[in-house]
């Protein structure tokens, strides 16, 4: 544990007393300020993104350098001789992690949330729509106590907005008709020999699909978008 007296006392003295440390802090601090200036000024988005990385590097270097010097009361030569040397690769590694791992995950989570919200607006009422990270086009719904719809990124890329709405309405039709309840009940009955002969699972599947198609066509006022979506998906089958 680093004592507070080290931070405000000996460590702070060595932190500001090291000429190489101050020069490095000044250089990378100036780089951060310059980078922030280019990020804030008008320019292309790509240019602003490129300049954001030197800014992140400068900030991480300052944090790394100060963190390493906090061990000075135990190993004073380490603070003065090696803190700058070790802070540079630490800042480089931190910048790479930030750029290649942290930021893509934040962007992906944000974009999925925004996309899910926009897709949910295509439905008659609020039903959660989740986007699956898959290039294969598919969509399905679940109608238990908590209803939701899942649609893949591949489906979104293949269909137009109207076709996408038709597919979502089709899945919404399954929710409205409690298809999940009937299908799960039929599956249970199919395991019972005496009931299996009286319940045709394939016929139930066809009936539920027809019902969901009718709901989508009725809501949109036409079946052409649903039909065109089916044609596209048939042509993309196995892709």
Determine the pLDDT at residue 20. Answer: 63
Interval 216-221 mean pLDDT: 91
* CATH numbers and ranges of domains, the chain: 4-112 (no CATH), 121-235 (3.30.2010)
Q: Could you report how far apart the first and last alpha carbons of the chain are, in Å?
A: 57
Work out the angle at residue 146's Cα, subtended by the Cα atoms of residues 142 and 147, and round it to the nearest 5 degrees: 40
Interval 171-191 mean pLDDT: 78
| DSSP 8-state symbol, 102 | I
Work out the angle at residue 99's Cα, subtended by the Cα atoms of residues 104 and 94, and round it to the nearest 5 degrees: 130
Determine the pLDDT at residue 214. Answer: 92
């Amino acid at each position: 544990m680093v004592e507070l007296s080290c931070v405000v006392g000996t460590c702070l003295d060595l932190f500001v007393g090291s000429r190489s440390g101050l020069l490095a802090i000044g250089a990378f601090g100036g780089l951060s300020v310059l980078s922030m200036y280019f990020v804030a000024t008008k320019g292309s988005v790509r240019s602003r993104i490129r300049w954001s990385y030197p800014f992140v590097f400068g900030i991480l270097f300052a944090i790394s350098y100060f963190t390493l010097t906090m061990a000075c009361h135990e190993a004073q030569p380490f603070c003065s001789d090696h803190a700058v040397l070790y802070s540079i690769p630490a800042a480089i590694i931190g910048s790479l992690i930030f750029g290649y791992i942290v930021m893509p995950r934040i962007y992906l989570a944000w974009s999925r949330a925004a996309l899910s919200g926009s897709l949910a607006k295509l439905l008659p009422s609020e039903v959660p729509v989740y986007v699956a990270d898959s290039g294969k086009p598919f969509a399905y719904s679940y109608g238990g106590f908590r209803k939701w719809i899942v649609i893949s990124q591949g489906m979104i890329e293949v269909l137009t907005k109207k076709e996408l709405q038709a597919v979502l309405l089709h899945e919404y039709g399954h929710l409205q008709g409690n298809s999940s309840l009937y299908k799960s009940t039929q599956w249970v009955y199919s395991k019972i020999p005496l009931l299996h002969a009286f319940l045709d699972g394939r016929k139930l599947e066809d009936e539920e699909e027809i019902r969901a198609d009718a709901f989508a066509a009725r809501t949109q006022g036409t079946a052409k978008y649903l039909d065109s979506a089916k044609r596209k998906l048939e042509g993309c089958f196995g892709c």
